[in-house]
Amino acid sequence: MIVRPMQSWFRMLFIWNGSVLQSIIPQLVLLGLLSTLAVFTHGRLFGEKIPLSPASFTLFGLTLAVFLVFRNNASYARFTEARASWGSALIASRALTSQMLSYAPADAARRDIAQELIAFAYALKHQLRGSDATADLSRLLGARRAAALSAKAYTPVYLLNDIRKKLAQALPGTEPGTTRWLVDAQINELEKCVGACERIQTTPIPFAYSVLLHRSVYAYCLFLPFGLVDSSEYLTPVLCIFISYTLIALEAIANQVADPFGLAPNALALDAITRTIERSVLELCDEAIPDELAPARAWQLT
């Protein structure tokens, strides 16, 4: 994910990294050539004049804009829910670590539990991205343990179950039931976060919506030059590229945001979030913490 501070209005005009412009340049070039062709042929295709007027495009454009708003709102709702789930995972991890350090005896396997809690966050990140978690799990739990976990289909849930077992053994039998309930509640919260992320990942926006929007946007952009050429003449390519950029870019942004766990510039900064969980848990355990991993900053990439 690319994060940048507020920029001046002038610099915002020329930002490259973090925008979707670089991914839609081929489409804009094609539409620019089509618009130029429409100007030189005076709106004719195969010798026949295409009878389109700006008024019809205005009416259709309003309908398309409403549909784009719906699509972007649906995508952003998935993004915000995913971010809230990871925020809850951070809070629950801190609370569980604090409770473990407060209630479990000093000679209990508290460090092992803390390492498994950190490994849980990394395992969840890799599961959502479909990437290999072996390197992170080996660093945190050792190569043998990582190899054993590689055979598990739901590694984060398996790690939470192991944490629950170890905490049940670590907490003394004299502890009141309320203490055990508080500890177990944090593990339940982490399991809810896993379930919420899995729901977002496995329940995409219905494909029919994406197909309909994609076809409507490109149909609108392809016919637009023939509707503007009589009134705009030589400005038609400029206007068509600008309008097409707005519509196609909105669709591209919606597609990126709809997959909040991916590697796109506008996806969640899961690398930074998991590092924050690791740093927070280790700091509570009075251990050395790794450097903070800030999200990629676009102004450093330009």
Q: Report if residue 11 sits inside a domain.
A: no
Number of structural domains found in the chain: 1
Residues facing residue 44 across a β-bridge: 49
pLDDT, position 1: 59
Q: Which of 295, 200, 213 has its CA nearest to residue 254?
A: 213
Q: Which of 92, 91, 111 has its CA nearest to residue 101?
A: 111
pLDDT, position 54: 78
Q: Report if residue 295 sits inside a domain.
A: no
Tell me the C-alpha distance between 78 and 3, whole Å: 19
Q: Report if residue 224 sits inside a domain.
A: yes
pLDDT, position 81: 96
Q: Report if residue 37 sits inside a domain.
A: yes
- Print pLDDT tens along the chain (302 aa): 556 566 666 677 777 776 788 889 999 999 999 999 988 888 777 777 777 777 778 888 888 888 898 899 999 999 999 999 999 999 999 999 999 998 888 776 888 999 999 999 999 999 999 999 999 999 999 999 999 999 999 999 999 999 999 998 888 765 567 888 889 999 999 999 999 999 999 998 888 888 999 999 999 999 899 888 888 888 999 999 999 999 999 999 998 899 999 988 888 999 999 999 999 999 999 999 998 876 555 434 44
Cα separations (Å) of 190 from 53, 88, 183, 273?
A: 57, 8, 11, 15
Contact criterion met (CB below 8 Å) for 229 and 236:
yes
3-state secondary structure of 124: helix
Q: Report if residue 164 sits inside a domain.
A: yes
Q: Report if residue 301 sits inside a domain.
A: no
pLDDT, position 173: 66
Q: How many helices (H) and strands (E) does the chain have?
A: 11, 2
User: Which residue range is the domain that position 191 belongs to?
Assistant: 24-286
Q: Which of 204, 198, 199, 192 has its CA nearest to residue 125?
A: 198
pLDDT, position 168: 87
Q: Report if residue 10 sits inside a domain.
A: no
Q: Which of 154, 123, 124 has its CA nearest to residue 138?
A: 123
Q: CA neighbours within 13 Å on the CB side: how many for 195?
A: 6
Q: Report if residue 19 sits inside a domain.
A: no
Contact criterion met (CB below 8 Å) for 221 and 62:
no
